[in-house]
Amino acid sequence: MKSCVRMRGWLGGWLLAAGILGGCADPMVDQRKLEAYEPRRGRWIVALPDLPPSGAVAVGSDSVPRPPFTADAALFALGRTVHDVHCAPCHGVTGVGDGEVVRRGFPRPRSYHLAALREASDAALHEVVADGRGSMVGFSELLDPRERWAAVAWIRALQRAWSVPVDRLADAERRQLDSGAAGGRDR
């Protein structure tokens, strides 16, 4: 008899808990809400921003604006520092893809001096520096936007320096090239 009373107590407790919890509804699920790209109607939704926001740039678009600063000596100095620390271990100091990690058996990265990379937009290079590509990691969490743009500016400086025609070099520079002391400009 005692166990029957105890069982009724447990059963009554479970039924009470189920009644309380079963009567609860989630008001967040049942409220009015605006689904993505749904036309906006009514007075309560007028203050929402436009979808997509003005000034948004599509992923992979080359319409990314230029950096909001000018290319000056400080930017190139920062770019060289960023490149030497983060890029040169793989790409090498001159950008031909002969960095220290390549000498230790890792895959060779693309040379900055390939036509495809020389013709790529600054925004495309910035995207690769930020997000990475292939086996290259992205640096968006390590470098702020100014540092990433500085790295792009330094890469462009390396590309221009690499593509100077030999006939435009001074005589001393030509002799240095002919002797092989210039670091081996293999094209």
Residue 113 has pLDDT above 90, yes or no: yes
Position 21 scores a pLDDT of 61
Cα separation of 155 and 84, whole Å? 11
**Is pLDDT of 90 > 90?**
yes
Q: What is the mean pLDDT of residues 2-30?
A: 65
> Mean pLDDT score of the chain, rounded to an integer?
79
pLDDT tens-place string over residues 29-81: 666 766 666 665 655 545 555 566 656 667 766 555 566 668 889 999 999 99
Q: Locate tokens 């009554």: which residue?
A: 12
Predicted confidence at residue 104, as pLDDT, reads: 93
Distance CA 35, CA 72 (A): 47
> What domains are there in the chain, each with its CATH number?
73-179 (1.10.760.10)
Distance CA 88, CA 99 (A): 6
Which residues 6+ apart lie within 8 Å of 100 measured at CB? Answer: 89
What is the pTM for the complete model shown?
0.59
Q: What contacts 36, CB < 8 A, 6 or more positions away? A: 51
| Count of C-beta atoms within a 10 Å radius of residue 73 | 7
